[in-house]
Structure 1
Amino acid sequence: MHLSRSRLMAAGIAGIALVAGVSVPAEAASPAKASTASAETAAVQAKPAKTSKAERKRVDSVPTPKLGWYKCYGIAECATVKLPLDYDKPKGAKTEIAVLRVKAKDQKHKIGSLFVNPGGPGGSATSFALDAPYFLSESVLQKFDVVGVDPRGIGASANIKCFRSVKAQTAVLNKLNIAFPVGAKQEATYLAGAKALGKACSTTGKPLSGAMSTAEVARDMDVVRRAVGDKKLTYLGFSYGTALGEYYANMFPDRVRALAIDGNLDPRAWVGAGSAGNQILDARLHSANGAYRALKEIFKRCDQAGEKYCAFAAGNPETNFAAIAKSLKAKPVVVSDESGTFTITYADFVGAELGMLYSPYAGESTMQLAADVAALIKGGSSSAVSAARASVLHRIRTARATGYDFPYDNGFEATMGVVCTDGTHPKNVASWPAATTVRDRQAPYFGKAWGYIDVPCARSTWTVRDEDAYRGPFTKRTSAPVLLVGNFWDPATNYDSSVAMSRQLPNSRLLTSNNWGHTAYGTGTCATGAIDRYLLSVALPAKGKVCAAEHQPFTEPIDPGGVPATATTMSATAGKRLPPVVAPQPVSILTGRR
């Protein structure tokens, strides 16, 4: 969802920066039997597919806009452009789209423009482009103007607004401001809020709510590509931004120069084609499975490493984690500090642990949080318990803090505007409790956390449609090869989705990384360098390439805070931050905090 400029900067500052990596054999690190090399195979077509007549007519009927650039934010140029709300009616109603670019440092030898998107859906591409100097490699910054196009309804573009006032919005969002509902009473409240949100966006939110599909964003991006003078698109997208890249590759396959997408969604699962449309989104994407796979591996490595390297290693980490979860389900922990009394629930704990899995230091951070919560359950007045209380309260308050008072924040509406119009979803909100219960059995802890993310999209609730949404095929051969990047332990965009996408897209190459957290760029020189080289020269890494990140869990002694001693200095020595990716995380989705 949309993050403000200050929040994006905070995310970048908090990230550990570009670190070293090396190549290792795929067989040495893969968590699954499916080999990376076999994932590369796809049907070979003699020639690239052409953009369909319908898509050419839609976008090419729009005159090339003149971008009235003006200086902004000290280092950038900004512009806005009005584009058709419906591309089938190019002279009809318009919506305002915001564009920002940071110009290449070496204009004389510039390759062109690099379009970027941080994910979400609902992330601001203009804010992401503005942050490019802090996370993109210098070689890329030298040769590309970095361009962000805010998706329609989102960020600095004309915003979707489903409620007539903040008061009306707050009344609905207060029903949804938990990681996920537990028990019949919370489920009833949550479903009522989801139903109210879907109905509001299907009425007050029109017409924009019915024109926010990823296909529309791809069309907007193609028009802006033409406006900045690029004959073909060069693109770098993360998380949901991979879906935007996948859509563009298949809608405009002959207009691709280089397209790198990191942390892939499987587009067939995303749209819910056919009978899959009767399943909730996570039953198709399996994000919860990716998160649980990562947590299981962390338990294993923590146990092997011992207490010197893992704060939660005493006894059996998996058994002890389950005991914490069981205890919180039975009785939440009530703790107090100078700012008041706070109740820590099972959903709070799971939501916070999921948030920890997004970090390259996922092993250390998840196990330290578990150790701190265990100390609070045990109780007492020791200094260790006091430290644990402060740590847990900080993490969970940050995750749960509300952010929808003044000014009007349309973050959740922006996210749902894309999710609900892109795909098909079950008919009634009443089906979600049973469906998420099944998912929680299949992927313990995280099945419900991920399962409730799309409940406002129930077809009988979210009734507005985008008749021009794209639903496939996703098998077009592009004019240049596409680089897909996936990491084994991603808790949001399951690595299996990157494998699936590589099998669908004929002219593609899958690069695998063994880093922790969400997406791979910036976690090691191997993955980052491969993406940079591809963007600069369209040179692909070798088939079956698996990159190793600098850090693996529990390989360094921990400090009293539960993290490796080098973790706080790594960004300073490397000089770059992690990209502030806006992941589709179902933790405090209402707050804009990821």
Structure 2
Amino acid sequence: MPRRTRSLAAAGIAGVILAGSAVAPAVAAPVGAGWGRPATTDRTSPTEARRVDRVPTPRIDWYPCYDYAECATVRLPLDYDKPHGATTEIAVLRVKARDQERRIGSLFVNPGGPGGPGTDMALAAPYYLGDEVLDRFDIVGVDPRGVGSSQQVRCFASVKDQTRAYAGLNVAFPWTRAEEKAYVVASKAVGRGCSTTGRPLSGAMSTAEVARDMDVLRRAVGDRKLTYLGFSYGSVLGQYYANMFPDRVRALVVDGVLDPRAWVGQGRDRGLLQEDRMRSAQGASRALREILARCDAAGASACPLAGGAARAYETVAQRLRAAPLVIEDPDLGSVTIRYSDFVGASLSALYDPAGYQQVVAITAELLALTDPATAAPARERARAAVVRLAAEARQQARRYDFPYDNNLETFLGVDCTDANHPTDAASWPERAARADQRDPYFGRAWAWATSPCARDTWTVRDEDVYTGPFDRRTSAPVLVVGNYWDPATNYRGAVSSAALLPNSRLLSSDSWGHTAYGTSACATGAIDAYLVRGTLPARGTVCTGDVQPFAEPVGGPAADRAETAKRTLAGQGAPRRGEPKRLPPVVAPLPAVGTLTVR
């Protein structure tokens, strides 16, 4: 049976994403004195080497967990300048290589977020990674400090205090003046809480600290050099490691790439919104425009909005900006659909390669429901569909009740500590409005994600953050993978990161959704070949995703894949070699604030 892969989005991975693509020939990696090694390599700085190398190699006491995995916790220095001082507990999970006699080593994986639990991604590995990778590597996931099953950051003393502080954040993003005011108040409360009660861990969650943890754990699992696969924000972690420890890289792949200079914000960019530097909204806007254009080209038989798809989308947006849609339902009660809900739902859909179907469906349904002239049968069908979506959203929505939910605080603990942000949260409304003018619909959504990071209220700092350089020559190539239509990590981030790293190769993908792995045999095969054998795709390779908008009717097989996978997975353990890749235990994209899906 031919190997089948599943996109990370269909697999439920954030941060987290077949036949028919033209696979470009692989070529050998640049060869110097050994496997994939250039003639010259930059060295780990004496400061970084001293920090990590004087930490004793931890003994990892693995125990069986989750039927087919092994788990452990390790205590690592809270501050690497004080290797024998305070520690923090780090959770680690591995799925052992299926062919232990031919095992290459360990593959560290990270799903992004920031704040995504790597242990969940490693546990899900049998459902999305290729068979050759699963045969040859122990798959190792680490929950970064403060995250998941590691010692958790807590910015408030109780759920009650947290709930009160978060009161203004429970919208996808603020639209009205009242919502903006409440959002700013809540952002300041969260920033102050994380800068006081959240200490000291909130000030020790920078990407640099996680890269140091990963280097110590690399040594602990017995690997001389690091093999790594990072998605989305995990691309930042991968690039930090490559530049902090350039001579300790065996193979490093980043997929869904953020330019680390834009992430940090340097020089004149220090006072800009992080979104002004990274332009995630630009990627989302481009993807939406292309979907609507292809809808028109496909015609009414393939897309119900054909003949004016962009106009239909804007009509729904205008109507919801003017007033929310309120639907009364006997089971759910009053269901309110705001403009921000419409945009947030669109953005979430764009994460999935088949998400164009959801974008079209929700637009058509809301177009009918907001038009008083819609006939009763059509109105009832649309109402039922929207209520069903609202019920699903309500089940998945974050509730700031018992137990303590620190997902937002893990995202902020990394982003606010790593990066430079504007000084005053009160400046966000104007800044977000400008972002929305530049990148319609999604500018506000991405801009507001970092409002708790305003420097006047987020005052906790990590004195050992890493701010560059990001152009080190690594001991093995860095494979940089960018997706043309990614709504979260703009393709231009992959281009600029690859241009920055002298020993790198750019692999482009004309595919949909967030990240490229699993969207085609071309992209997946190229990444697997590099991880296992050190061969790189030919320069200029562009893969083509299997799922392309309106290549099949709306509501066709692509719409059913995730649901079918959920049903087939129920009650089963890890798949055996050659079995179809199916949906893993859900690792949902992390919400930054409200219901917004983040990187």
* Superposition TM-score, scaled by structure 1 size: 0.90
The letter of the residue matching 1:374 is L
Indicate how the Cα distance of structure 1 residues 524 and 570 shifts in structure 2: closer, same or farther if over 3 A, else same. farther
CA distance in 2, matches of 1:168, 1:535: 46
Identity %: 56
1:424-503 aligned within 5 A? 424-503=420-499
1:277-356 aligned within 5 A? 277-313=270-306, 315-338=307-330, 339-356=332-349
CA distance in 2, matches of 1:162, 1:193: 13
Question: What SS does structure 2 have at the residue aligned with 1:336?
Answer: strand
| 2:19 equivalent to 1:20 | yes
Pick from 178, 187, 212 the counterpart of residue 180 of structure 2.
187
Question: What SS does structure 1 have at the residue aligned with 2:468?
Answer: coil
Question: What SS does structure 2 have at the residue aligned with 1:452?
Answer: helix
Post-superposition offset of 1:165 = 0.6
CA distance in 2, matches of 1:274, 1:501: 18
The answer to whether the 8 A contact 2:449-2:593 is kept is no
Indicate how the Cα distance of structure 1 residues 219 and 140 shifts in structure 2: closer, same or farther if over 3 A, else same. same
Pick from 406, 415, 418 the counterpart of residue 411 of structure 2.
415
Indicate how the Cα distance of structure 1 residues 67 and 203 shifts in structure 2: closer, same or farther if over 3 A, else same. same
CA RMSD of aligned residues (A): 2.6
The letter of the residue matching 1:382 is A
1:43-442 aligned within 5 A? 47-313=40-306, 315-338=307-330, 339-379=332-372, 382-399=376-393, 401-442=397-438
Deviations 1:465-521 (A, max 9, x none): 001010011000000001111100000000010001011011000111111110011
CA distance in 2, matches of 1:76, 1:567: 24
Indicate how the Cα distance of structure 1 residues 10 and 169 shifts in structure 2: closer, same or farther if over 3 A, else same. farther
Question: What SS does structure 1 have at the residue aligned with 2:219?
Answer: helix
CA distance in 2, matches of 1:539, 1:548: 20
The answer to whether the 8 A contact 2:71-2:94 is kept is yes
Post-superposition offset of 1:383 = 3.9
Question: What SS does structure 2 have at the residue aligned with 1:378?
Answer: coil
| Alignment-derived partner of residue 38 in structure 1 | none
The answer to whether the 8 A contact 1:238-1:581 is kept is no
Deviates most, 571-580 or 222-231 = 571-580
Question: What SS does structure 1 have at the residue aligned with 2:458?
Answer: coil
Post-superposition offset of 1:384 = 3.3
Post-superposition offset of 1:551 = 1.4
Aligned length in residues: 565
Post-superposition offset of 1:337 = 1.6
Question: What SS does structure 1 have at the residue aligned with 2:434?
Answer: helix
Question: What SS does structure 2 have at the residue aligned with 1:540?
Answer: strand
The answer to whether the 8 A contact 1:449-1:586 is kept is no
The answer to whether the 8 A contact 2:335-2:390 is kept is no
Indicate how the Cα distance of structure 1 residues 48 and 480 shifts in structure 2: closer, same or farther if over 3 A, else same. same
CA distance in 2, matches of 1:143, 1:517: 28
Post-superposition offset of 1:311 = 2.5
Deviations 1:416-452 (A, max 9, x none): 0000001111000011111111100000000001110
Post-superposition offset of 1:565 = 7.3
Question: What SS does structure 1 have at the residue aligned with 2:357?
Answer: helix
Post-superposition offset of 1:341 = 0.9
Post-superposition offset of 1:275 = 1.8
Post-superposition offset of 1:403 = 2.5
Indicate how the Cα distance of structure 1 residues 262 and 585 shifts in structure 2: closer, same or farther if over 3 A, else same. farther
Deviates most, 115-124 or 173-182 = 173-182
| 2:563 equivalent to 1:558 | no
CA distance in 1, matches of 2:165, 2:20: 46
Question: What SS does structure 2 have at the residue aligned with 1:303?
Answer: helix
Post-superposition offset of 1:376 = 1.1
| 2:515 equivalent to 1:519 | yes
The letter of the residue matching 2:383 is R
* Superposition TM-score, scaled by structure 2 size: 0.90
Deviations 1:33-84 (A, max 9, x none): xxxxxxxxxxx98511000000000000100010111111111111111111
Post-superposition offset of 1:584 = 6.2
| Alignment-derived partner of residue 540 in structure 1 | 536
CA distance in 2, matches of 1:567, 1:157: 30
CA distance in 2, matches of 1:423, 1:564: 38
Which structure 2 residue ranges, 5 or more long, are not aligned?
Answer: 1-7, 25-36, 569-577
Which structure 1 residue ranges, 5 or more long, are not aligned?
Answer: 1-8, 26-43
CA distance in 1, matches of 2:223, 2:508: 30
